[in-house]
Structure 1
């Protein structure tokens, strides 16, 4: 039974225990955890799932090593343990990638000093492989490489002494992680619906009773009733909370920043942390804020830039100055890469909130701190809890802590079992991939089958069955990439994709890889058939996505400066 269907009629007719606002990583885990706790749960998002901050990261399940420089040892261990929880829940959605940190003769950047730090890091991470509970998915050990080995991977200057290689987990697509958690919540009984905006909170006698909502696709307005509303709208939480009585008594966001990434020609099959001339907030500074270059889909993903913005409602698209910052940073750290604007494929920006009393416009201030607000305590409003996340990797932890508050208020237990996500129904992922290649290798390339296995897990066979039903669906969307038109159909039929942007950016991510007009029109034609679009609607969808692609192009290669 396909449980992941939009059902606004159900939203407007039932009484829920918990209503979650926001379909990013925090909201997704909350939907699953609340439903697991026996609460009748609904989740809504004003746009598409993972449409904002959760889709705009470096796609890392970060093990917390950056907190070591800040002496935040608790955050180091928390991040490592939470990374393990993600790997346990969905091994197919991420893979271990080697990260290089170059070393130099001076003591603070020496191999000896860095290895001392790595020893401390490994001690803080003890127990993570037990949580992963899968020998094949364990985090590999840190190792050293010499100068010759480093320069074979990244042609650096002659001053380096080699480097230290540690391993992170990189998601193929962070949006798919969010989606799979939401689908698992729906399988457990939650009502999960995109493109439903919470226009306002329904408040009576200092108690929130639900929200006044609008289906932004149909224009229909309706109320959603709930014993408890959980605001997990990320940087936009104050849009609802600010209208409450005594709102000024509750904590609020006091700043915003944009983090940007660019997609370039691939400069190595190893990731690297490059020290820049940008100011760092580290207590132990190895030479400025680091920028990452990470191999992704045959390209390099480079980030993150940092720029403060005044509002969460302005233009949040990537800008030429963000691209300038990243190109300058990577070419400073890797001068022989010689990246230019001709090497750029795409880029994106994401908004995240700042919660600090000392905002510095030039210093990266992503603290990794999350916040849970019980508004009964903060500003005397019952029936509302706010959960503000900080990092993708700690989204599950934020949800678990929020559930303790929710469970106490609603009189249920907060104890829930660890569980695999719905698409993780395999015992051995490597064997699952091998079996998929044996069974379908006569019709599809190994690259395509591995791609489907990593993106869909145990649902990959169902995606292939859909492809086998129509020869058109067996075609790839663009040359050089394994994505099939069958994935477009799957997204529409099974994943609540309602528009071109939903599919190409948040179900497949192929929108970041340089689609041309003919490929875009081909996808639009298939979606028009599946969603019964007329010519006017199809043209509007193409125009909307073309505008986004042109906005990205204008940032990558501005004609006037």
Structure 2
């Protein structure tokens, strides 16, 4: 997978996708899989903004029973099944537990009915899924069993717990790279650090995008028969240049964040606990008056979230205030008092912006979130041809949502191409039953799938390339080299946060950053000044004592 800018400038594509978050990446894969010529551009690094914020849960739609929204529930079930099938080395089943209390809306009987309905609605949840990836039926466990697993929770009126399984993405950054690598393998041209500045027009038809290569500073036009704007919070800015901007382009946003605790709380069990503060979901038919915080085991610690706070239009999506962080720590300690969480226990916060219905301060932030993905066909709404704008809502339903979007694009292009009967797997999952000889190799397989041998080939080519980068991480030198040569990593944050595990749970120490930067310098020809600049770009994220996620850095 190479960054070939000249191909963007020289060709006219069937589809140009602006923005490579999870929706842009899956749009590129879906369009390329249908036989269209595809270009994908991203102003920062792939998946470096809102899509970097994910609690990694692939929900199967159980939560939508309270809305009686079977359409959305079925979409989630299909998306979970799809991800478990096409990316088995990255997505796995995860057991969840939610305590039950009393005989009301949090009681056993409500959850028993919910689990039964969930199993019925998802009867086809394991169709085509390998045995080891299948989702079992839900069940209710006793109070004694619950207390043995969760001794730290509130036991007043505790009656037991509901248990079910959902999907879990161990490494969302590697999933992003696998999706884009798959699209490129199918003929797409992808490039990071390319900014879309304006649409190019021929009358009332969008004919492409005028772009700037942020690495070289050059500007040029990328031509396309159809443009899909999937730029997230930046979509409205790009669409603002149109003479008639559709009124349903989101203008309000909510800041969502998940915190990583550096210690485990519930072993290998993911746990949902009802919020201490009251929450009213105005769209729910059955309202519990609470919302769940999920505690998910990950990399020896615990991911907790998702929390939502209001965001101003000029807010930095990766910035988390001290007040916001302390509020979520207080909430965690109310839900799990014996945990005694303090600031020192927070390794990292993953933060991003999600589209909202309104900026009404009287409505709590979680209630403002859009409930459905917005797809604007500008030809239908403003007579501007050749342009769709897609505003995604849920990370994990992206592979399902994009099917409908590309169907609509194909209709506008007057092209008739059906999806394949058997959906191709993602890059890295082409070979089944890959056996690894050592734990060392297994770790690489869990990141790169069946292509882990490509990393090993580099590792075995020169002495020292199997060595670890840093003493407190499990990334080897060969992985950094592979990221530069084969995965378009061009900055230190690209490698630290979005190609390897170096920065997954916190910012590495300076010595580790220096070693990683020097490896990249040897590949990319960086000067000493550039090495220092790259290290500083990562270390600048230490504001709030490592409690923010690095944004898309200027290379």
TM-score range, shorter chain: over 0.9
- Give the equivalent residue in structure 1 for 2:476: 484
Structure 1 range deviating more: 143-152 or 410-419: 143-152
Determine which of 377, 381, 386 is the counterpart of 1:383: 386
Give 1:87-486 correspondences, 5 Å limit.
87-130=84-127, 132-155=128-151, 156-159=153-156, 160-247=158-245, 249-264=246-261, 265-269=263-267, 270-278=269-277, 279-281=279-281, 282-311=284-313, 314=316, 316-355=318-357, 360-365=362-367, 366-417=369-420, 418-428=423-433, 432=434, 435-436=435-436, 438=437, 441=438, 446=439, 448-479=440-471, 481-486=473-478
How far apart are the structure 2 equivalents of 1:309 and 1:284?
Answer: 28
The 2-side partners of 1:374 and 1:401 are apart by 12
> What TM-score do the two structures reach when normalised by structure 2?
0.93
1:540 alignment counterpart: 533
Task: Measure how far apart 1:145 and its partner are.
Answer: 2.6
| Contact 1:376/1:383, CA 8 A, preserved across alignment | yes
CA contact (8 A) 2:97 2:271 kept: yes
* 1:61-85 deviations in Å (ceiling 9; x for gaps): 1211221222222211210111111
Residue 493 of structure 1 aligns to a residue whose secondary structure is helix
Correspondence 1:507 to 2:499: yes
Cα deviation digits, residues 305-343 of structure 1 (max 9, x gap) = 111112166353222223223212221111121211121
Q: TM-score, normalised by structure 1?
A: 0.92
- Checking the alignment, whether the CA contact within 8 Å between 1:46 and 1:197 is kept in structure 2 is yes
User: How big is the shift at 1:30?
Assistant: 1.2
Shift of 1:35: 1.6
CA deviation after TM superposition for structure 1 residue 536, in Å: 0.8
Cα distance 1:212–1:179, how it changes in 2: closer, same or farther (>3 A)? same
- In structure 2, what is the equivalent of residue 517 of structure 1? 510
Shift of residue 283, structure 1, vs aligned partner? 3.8
Deviation readout 1:89-128 (Å, 9 max, x if unpaired): 1111112111110012233222222111110111111211
Take 2:468 and 2:190, find their aligned partners in 1: how far apart are those partners? 30
Name which of structure 1's ranges 154-163 and 213-222 shifts more when overlaid on structure 2.
154-163
Q: Identify, as 1 or 2, the structure richer in helix.
A: 1
Closer, same or farther: CA 363–307 of 1 in aligned 2, 3 Å: closer
Aligned to 1:50: 47
2:524 is equivalent to residue 531 of structure 1: yes
Q: Is the 8 A contact 1:236 1:312 kept in 2?
A: no
Q: Whole-Å Cα distance in 2 between the matches of residues 466 and 390 of structure 1?
A: 39
SS at match of 1:351: strand
Q: Secondary structure at the match of 2:464?
A: helix
CA contact (8 A) 1:280 1:363 kept: no
Over 3 Å counting, the alpha-carbon distance change for 1:537 and 1:13 in structure 2 is same
RMSD: 1.9
User: Alpha-carbon deviation of 1:25?
Assistant: 1.1
Counterpart Cα distance in 1 of 2:104 and 2:55: 30
Match 2:68 to one of 68, 71, 76: 71
8 Å CA contact retained: 1:276, 1:287: no
Tell me, what secondary structure is at the counterpart of 1:504?
Answer: helix
Task: Judge which range, 546-555 or 503-512, deviates more.
Answer: 546-555
Q: Distance in 1 between matches of 2:162 and 2:427?
A: 37
Q: For 2:213 and 2:385, locate their aligned partners in 1 and report how far apart those are by CA, in whole Å.
A: 26
Q: Distance in 2 between matches of 1:480 and 1:7?
A: 35
CA contact (8 A) 2:91 2:167 kept: yes
C-alpha distance 384-226 of structure 1, shift in aligned 2 (>3 A): same
**Greater mean deviation of Cα atoms: 267-276 or 64-73:** 64-73
Contact conserved, 1:195 with 1:216, CA < 8 A, in 2? yes
SS at 1:471 equivalent: coil
* Cα contact 1:53–1:351 (8 A) shared by 2: yes
Q: CA deviation at 1:471?
A: 3.4
Secondary structure at 2:162's aligned position in 1?
A: strand
**CA offset at residue 147 of structure 1?**
2.6
- Post-superposition CA distance 1:177-231 (Å, at most 9, x none): 1211111110011101111011100112111111110001110111111111111
Whole-Å separation in 1 of the counterparts to 2:327 and 2:61: 24
Instruction: Describe the shift of the 1:126–1:393 C-alpha distance in structure 2 as closer, same or farther (beyond 3 A).
Output: same
Instruction: Tell me the distance in 2 between the aligned counterparts of 1:480 and 1:143.
Output: 40
Q: Give the unaligned 5+ runs of structure 1.
A: 557-561
**Matched pairs, number:** 538
Within 2, Cα distance between the matches of 1:165 and 1:187?
40
Q: Distance in 2 between matches of 1:147 and 1:399?
A: 43
Return the alpha-carbon distance in structure 1 between the equivalents of residues 417 and 371 of structure 2.
24
Query: Who is 2:5 aligned against?
Result: 8
